[in-house]
Each structure stands twice: as structure tokens, then as C-alpha cells.
């Protein structure tokens, strides 16, 4: 069953190239004596909900390069950067740099013995939404497996996999040893599509994949001109919400501000969500994909802000009046 309205051709597929399992393991062992942190989640701009099971992480790439961040990050985070752990892992560093797309979180994820995870989905972590989650198994055993949308997978060291984790999935490790994967989140790009087998070409050449545009630099004058305030649906910055921009629903106030680090949207909860430019007056949320963008149109007689949600080539748009900053 294909849950969550995903359009990927299958729940998972093995990618190119084959990896060096021994070198991956050697890099991992440089950090095995360190007490890994419990996995956490990231919701509405904040870290939340620590794991209640033996499910631990070691971040080699994270928001701000913070080695204590075990969550995948998301809108509202600082830019993603390598952590100090990567300094001791030459093969992992080489492998990550070979992935053709902007990298977000990269984490060694350790599922302890005799642990059965809870069924869940990771909303919007699929190319339909502009993201891909890749797995590189490092340590595993036959008693450890992944149930991904009803299909059972036992991925092996040296293999390189894509999984559509926007579908419902559950991990289990009923063996006596740990199961460790290097899990990498990357923005979907045409170059990344070349890692997939030929059978996926129609999918990546079709209208269901949301390809991300590269970030572009902005001038001080452009940032100053983008400052404004506007009313919008209150779920505007909540990427977990599968809401619509149109129709009767609660509205609230947002503002675009020029901070010391660049433009950011201030939420009603007074939290800043940094922005990066992807086109003339068009911005996406830092730490996220082109799934959600804001375009300022403030020069005319009726200043406006255009809000866009995307899935593949499908869009949901709303244009609202804006008040330019003084």
C-alpha cells in the first residue's frame, strides 16, 4: 500500500555506487567509545521529543555543525555544517562530498539490541517534496530489519539505499548486537537523480519530483527592501502540516526582518525562521526545500506577498496584502 500520497515508483531502491564497507566501519569505530546522544526530533523550529528507546545518534553534519544535535533539523535552523566528528572520518567525508546535492543532516543512527521501533512516517522526506533520505548500512544482522510500507528490507554494509520515509515504516532489531546506519538527508537535484537506476528515469523526468533551485546572494539594499509584515494562515511555517493556503482558516501576523545573519520570518511565537534567496525577491526557509517559498512584491501601488506550497510541479498559492517596513 502506498501511504501518504507518495508517487515514488517503489518504497526503496538501491543506488550507485557500491561503498567500501570496511572503510565505513573503520571511520565509525573512531567514535564508538563516545557515549552517543539519544535521538531527538525537530518541530516548528525547535528540538523536541527525545527517543524513549535505545535509539542513539552521532551527528557528522548538523544545523550549525553542532555535534549535540541528533535531530534532522528543518526550518528555523541555522545553516547545516560538518561537525568535528567528520575530522576523524576521511572516508565518510569523501563519501558525503560525492553526493551531488546540497547536504542537510548526516547522522550515524544506532538501534540497540532487542528494540522494536514504533510505526511512523517522516512527512515530506521524499523527492515529491524536494528531499531525499539516503542510507548507508555499517553494522547489521539478520535479526535487524526495516518494514517500509509493508516491504521488509535487510540492507547490508557496502550498499547505498534510498528509502521513501514519507511512507509508514518501522525498524526492528531483535538480535543481540547493534544496528548502525549512516543516514543522510539531501535536497533533490537533477544530478542526484543520476544515482538512481534506469527504471526510475520516468519518475525523475516527470512532474512529480520537486527539484530545488540553488541559493543566490542578496545585497543589503535587496534585504532592506524585502522587510514587511502580512497576515497569513497560522500554519505557514509548520512543515509537518499538510494544509492548504486557501479557504477559511485561522490567520495570524508574520513579518520579514533583516537580521544580522540575513532575512528571516518572525513567527507569532516570536521565533525567527531564516530565509535564503532562490530568485528575484523569492525566498525559501533555511533548512528546508523549495516546498515552501515566500515572494515579496512590494514595489507596486498595492504591496503584496505571494506564498507558495509545492509538491512536484503542483502548487498551492496565496497572495496577501503586505505592509512594507518603514
Which pLDDT tens digit goes with each residue over 185-216? 999 999 999 999 999 999 999 999 999 999 99
Residue 141, number of CB atoms within 10 A of its CB: 15
**In the prediction, which pLDDT does 60 show?**
97
**Predicted local confidence at residue 18, as pLDDT:** 95
Check if the beta carbon of residue 295 is closer than 8 Å to that of residue 301.
no
pLDDT score at 49: 59
Instruction: Please give the mean pLDDT across all residues of the chain.
Output: 93
Q: Residue 219: left if φ>0, alpha if ψ -120 to 50, beta else—which one?
A: beta
Q: Please write down the long-range contacts of 50-57, taking CB distance under 8 Å and 24 or more positions apart.
A: 53/112, 53/115, 53/117, 54/111, 54/112, 54/113, 54/115, 55/109, 55/110, 55/111, 55/112, 55/115, 55/117, 56/109, 56/110, 56/112, 57/107, 57/108, 57/109, 57/110
* Whole-angstrom distance, CA of residue 305 vs CA of residue 295: 6
pLDDT tens string 263-276 = 999 999 899 999 99
From residue 96, alpha-carbon distances to 63, 100, 103, 128, 255 in Å are 16, 9, 8, 22, 36
Q: pTM of the predicted model, to two decimals?
A: 0.93
pLDDT of residue 103: 97
Write out the three cell numbers for 173: 532489531
- Whether the link from the prior residue into 116 is cis, omega within 30° of 0, is no
For 193, how many CA atoms within 13 A lie in the half-sphere containing its CB?
Answer: 21
The domain defined by 12-205 folds into: Jelly Rolls (2.60.120)
CA atoms of 162 and 61, how far apart (whole Å): 18
From the list 15, 14, 11, the residue with the least C-alpha distance to 150 is 11
CA 294, chain centre distance (Å): 18
Task: Give the list of residues 6+ apart from residue 208 with CB closer than 8 angstroms, or none.
Answer: 7, 127, 128, 312, 313
Query: Phi then psi for 289, rounded to 5 degrees?
Result: -100, -175
Cα distances (Å, whole numbers) of residue 171 to 118, 152, 239, 314: 7, 10, 24, 32
Cβ within 8 Å of residue 9, ≥6 positions away: 199, 200, 202, 203
pLDDT averaged per 10 residues, the chain (length 326): 71 97 97 77 65 80 94 87 97 98 96 91 93 98 96 98 96 94 97 97 97 95 96 93 92 96 93 95 96 96 97 96 96
Helix ranges (DSSP H) in the chain: 21-29, 90-97, 190-193, 201-205, 220-225
pLDDT at 2: 38
Considering only CA atoms, which of 27, 21, 59, 23 is closest in space to residue 40?
Answer: 59
How big is the chain, counted in residues? 326
Query: 146 Cβ partners below 8 Å, 6+ apart?
Result: 152, 153, 154, 155, 163, 169, 170, 171, 172
Amino acid at each position: 500500500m502506498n501511504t501518504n500520497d507518495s508517487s515514488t515508483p517503489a518504497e526503496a531502491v538501491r543506488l550507485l555506487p557500491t561503498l567500501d564497507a570496511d572503510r565505513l566501519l573503520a571511520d565509525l569505530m573512531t567514535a564508538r567509545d563516545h557515549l552517543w546522544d539519544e535521538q531527538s526530533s525537530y518541530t516548528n523550529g525547535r528540538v523536541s521529543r527525545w527517543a524513549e528507546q535505545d535509539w542513539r545518534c552521532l551527528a557528522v553534519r548538523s544545523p550549525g555543525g553542532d555535534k549535540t544535535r541528533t535531530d534532522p533539523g528543518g526550518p528555523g535552523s541555522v545553516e547545516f555544517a560538518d561537525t568535528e566528528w567528520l575530522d576523524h572520518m576521511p572516508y565518510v567525508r569523501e563519501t558525503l562530498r560525492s553526493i551531488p546535492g546540497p547536504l542537510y543532516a548526516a547522522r550515524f543512527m544506532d538501534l540497540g539490541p532487542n528494540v522494536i521501533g514504533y510505526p511512523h512516517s517522516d512527512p515530506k522526506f521524499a523527492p515529491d517534496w524536494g528531499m531525499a533520505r539516503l542510507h548507508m548500512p555499517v553494522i547489521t544482522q539478520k535479526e535487524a530489519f526495516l518494514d517500509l510500507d509493508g516491504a521488509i528490507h535487510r540492507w547490508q554494509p557496502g550498499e547505498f539505499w534510498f528509502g521513501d520515509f514519507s511512507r509508514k515504516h518501522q525498524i526492528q532489531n531483535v538480535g543481540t548486537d547493534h544496528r548502525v546506519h549512516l543516514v543522510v538527508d539531501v535536497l533533490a537535484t537533477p544530478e542526484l537523480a543520476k544515482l538512481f537506476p534506469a527504471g526510475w528515469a520516468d519518475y525523475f523526468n516527470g512532474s512529480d519530483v520537486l527539484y530545488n533551485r540553488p541559493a543566490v546572494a542578496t545585497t543589503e539594499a535587496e534585504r532592506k527592501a524585502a522587510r514587511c509584515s502580512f497576515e497569513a494562515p497560522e500554519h505557514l511555517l509548520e512543515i509537518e502540516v499538510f494544509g492548504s493556503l486557501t479557504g477559511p482558516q485561522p490567520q495570524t501576523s508574520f513579518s520579514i526582518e533583516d537580521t544580522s545573519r540575513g532575512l528571516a520570518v518572525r513567527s507569532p511565537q516570536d521565533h525567527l525562521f531564516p530565509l535564503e534567496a532562490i530568485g528575484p525577491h523569492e525566498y525559501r526557509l533555511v533548512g528546508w526545500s523549495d516546498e515552501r517559498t515566500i515572494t515579496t512584491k512590494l514595489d507596486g501601488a498595492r504591496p503584496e506577498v505571494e506564498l507558495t506550497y509545492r509538491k512536484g510541479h503542483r502548487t498551492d498559492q496565496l497572495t496577501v496584502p503586505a505592509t512594507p517596513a518603514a
